[in-house]
Amino acid sequence: MTIIVHHLENSRSQRILWLLEELDLAYEVKRYERDPKTMLAPPELKAVHPLGKSPVIVDNGRVIAETGAIVEYIVERAGGRLGAPGNRDAALRYRQFLHYAEGSMMPPLLALLVLGKLGVLGLPARKPMQAMMDTHLDWLETELGSRPWFAGADFSAADVMMSFPIEACRSRAGLDGTRPHLIDWLERCHARPAYGRALERGGPYAYA
């Protein structure tokens, strides 16, 4: 069966296309455009899942939401490829970063996005929120100073999960050349052939 990916432009669902390309699994893309004024997802997505969010996949009658859950499902469907490494410590790091991407990194990033839209009203809160984000980036820079990929020696689905928040940090949260390990990691992700193929399938993506 072909996996159907309900893909919203400039969203976290780009990671799902990338993972599917890495695993060479058959899939179909149904694209949705954001409202140009509110930048919210269109109401049509609620016909797929009550939350009206993306990504959502449909596979063999199953409707699956939440990026991390989708990633775990796809890795399992692919026989564990790009999943948790055999080494115990690497496997623990894999699970940590699989969940950290959305659970810890995205909330302050979303807060920075909202504060940016508030203009001068958001300035008092922006500095402490950026300091919080810098703590995350400093730790991640240290982590990648000891190994090439987030779980260990090899690329995994944990790197796919981490791509969106780190790309967003480069765009709006201060990630630059002062953290060379993170920049190098991001450029190596972007250089992967499957990443390029996912961009071709998914359409324009602001963080590429």
This prediction has a pTM of: 0.94
Helix axes 67-77, 88-100, angle to 10 degrees: 140
pLDDT (tens digit, 9 = 90+) per residue, 135-193?
999 999 999 999 999 999 999 999 999 999 999 999 889 999 999 999 999 999 999 99
- CATH code of the domain occupying 3-82+194-202: 3.40.30.10
- Mean pLDDT over all residues of the chain? 94
Helix axes 157-172, 106-117, angle to 10 degrees: 20
Mean pLDDT over residues 26-31, rounded?
96
The number of helix segments (H) and strand segments (E) in the chain equals 8, 4
Distance CA 175, CA 8 (A): 25
**pLDDT at res. 146:** 94
Contact 13/7 with Cβ under 8 angstroms? yes
The neighbour count for residue 132, using CB atoms within 10 Å, is 14
- CATH code of the domain occupying 88-192: 1.20.1050.10
Domain range list for the chain: 3-82+194-202, 88-192
